[in-house]
Structure 1
Amino acid sequence: MTLVYLVRHGETPWHAENRYCGRTDLPLTERGRRQAEELASWAATAGLAAVYSSTLRRARDTAAPAAAAAGVPHQVDERLVELDFGLAEGLTSAEMRERWPEQRAAFERDPVANPLPGGEDPKAAIARGCEALDEIVAAHPRGTVLVVCHSTLLRLVTCELVGLDPSRYRELFPRVANTSGAVLRHDEGWELVEFNPSLHTQSTTSRDAFTDAT
């Protein structure tokens, strides 16, 4: 059995206004760095076999302290990056509704069948994310692994792995806490153990650091 903590990175400057951040390589805020430090405190005693992350800075800077605290390698994988949101990058949901009301409405009805204008096909993102996780599990067949990635990819992949309809990811998982996400168990198949657990050794600022569904 492999236990995978598939978590979102720490807070970035676009968090407060819930601006869509896909491939824009934003840094962590000061609060985000504190969240990474708190995650590292948890990682020090979590019995991790490895830490993986997306190649984007916000994920790498969240994962690196955890890997150092756990004394395990930090490996990066481009397949774990966030979706490319195309023309929606840097915009809020309200701004999208003003610019392209029909496209935004279609996205809200079914975000997998109707990607945002110019955005990545969610099916392709699901395929690359699941491929990465399958390889991680194969490399750590009886270990506990931390994987730091991004909100939308995290929810899409979680749905796909545990047999939920990915087109309902915004409804099923409307919020993802910074430095939290999905706890997944892999044995003969995948099972969702918990969503949005507190991965910290004490009460922290991270628990209220939510975002609306993107």
Structure 2
Amino acid sequence: MTIVALIRHGETPWHAENRYCGRTDLPLTGNGERQAEALAGWAAVTPALRAVRSSTLTRAIRTAAPAAAGAGLPHVTDDRLVELDFGEAEGLTSAEMELRWPKERAAFVADPVGDPLPGGEDPRAAIARGSAAVLDAALAGAGGVSLVVCHSTLLRLLTCHFTGVDPSEYRRAYPKVGNASGAILRRMDGGDWELLAFNPVLTRAGVAW
């Protein structure tokens, strides 16, 4: 049995306006840095933590690196964990999308996997790359805990994928992912997955799931 803590990076400058941030390589805000430090506190008191991996984007690296240091573990980056490419939607808010292409936005809201945003990455391809990366991370931390820092949309798609939920429902099943929080998944020895918690508080005080 292995636990995978699939965690979203800390806050970025686009967080306040909820702008879609896919491949734009934003830094963390001051608050995001504090969220990363809180996660590092959790990592330091989690003796079963055996692996720390993250996306190659700065916001994920800056979130994962303190946790790896706090746990005395190497920090491995993996470009398969980067956020989806949102195409023409990059940097926009939902309201701005609705004004620019209302039909396309409505189709996306109804089925974000079957009708991705204009010019955006096929979510099914993102699931394929992301799930392979998470499986590798689980193997690296086999029998213990693996920390995997990635991004909101990929995280929700992967949570659905591993737990048998239709990925097209990811926006309805998991409407919000907290910064420096996410999905706590358990991988059983037979290969089945179970969701233990979503949006838990992870701090030096311990775990809340």
TM-score normalised by structure 1 residue count: 0.93
Decide which moves more: 96-105 or 34-43. 34-43
Q: Which amino acid aligns with 1:18?
A: N
Where do 1:59-208 residues align within 5 Å? 59-187=60-188, 188=190, 189-201=192-204
Asked if the contact 2:45–2:204 (Cα under 8 Å) also holds between the matched residues in 1, the reply is: no
3-state SS of the aligned residue for 2:202? coil
Question: 1:127-167: per-residue Cα shift (whole Å, max 9, x none)?
Answer: 00111111222232212111000000000011001100100
Q: Specify the alignment match of 1:19 in structure 2.
A: 19
Q: Which amino acid aligns with 2:169?
A: R
Q: Distance in 2 between matches of 1:30 and 1:69?
A: 19
The runs of 4+ residues in structure 1 deviating greater than 6 Å are none
Shift of 1:201: 2.9
TM-score normalised by structure 2 residue count: 0.95
Q: Which amino acid aligns with 1:34?
A: R
Q: Which amino acid aligns with 1:17?
A: E
Q: Distance in 1 between matches of 2:3 and 2:11?
A: 25
Alignment RMSD, CA only? 1.1
Q: Which amino acid aligns with 1:201?
A: R
Asked if the contact 2:5–2:147 (Cα under 8 Å) also holds between the matched residues in 1, the reply is: yes
3-state SS of the aligned residue for 2:126? helix
Where do 1:33-48 residues align within 5 Å? 33-47=33-47, 48=49
Q: Which amino acid aligns with 1:199?
A: L
Q: Specify the alignment match of 1:209 in structure 2.
A: none
Percent identity between matched residues is 67
Q: Distance in 2 between matches of 1:169 and 1:198?
A: 21
Q: Please, which runs of 5 or more residues in structure 1 have no aligned partner?
A: 203-214
Asked if the contact 2:140–2:146 (Cα under 8 Å) also holds between the matched residues in 1, the reply is: no
Q: Specify the alignment match of 1:56 in structure 2.
A: 57
Q: Which amino acid aligns with 2:81?
A: L
Q: Distance in 2 between matches of 1:15 and 1:129?
A: 23
Question: 1:1-27: per-residue Cα shift (whole Å, max 9, x none)?
Answer: 110000000000000000000000000
Q: Which amino acid aligns with 1:59?
A: A
3-state SS of the aligned residue for 1:49? strand
Q: Distance in 1 between matches of 2:135 and 2:44?
A: 25
Q: Distance in 2 between matches of 1:140 and 1:118?
A: 36
Q: How many residues align?
A: 203
Q: Please, which runs of 5 or more residues in structure 2 have no aligned partner?
A: none
Asked if the contact 2:6–2:149 (Cα under 8 Å) also holds between the matched residues in 1, the reply is: yes
Decide which moves more: 186-195 or 135-144. 135-144
Asked if the contact 2:53–2:148 (Cα under 8 Å) also holds between the matched residues in 1, the reply is: yes
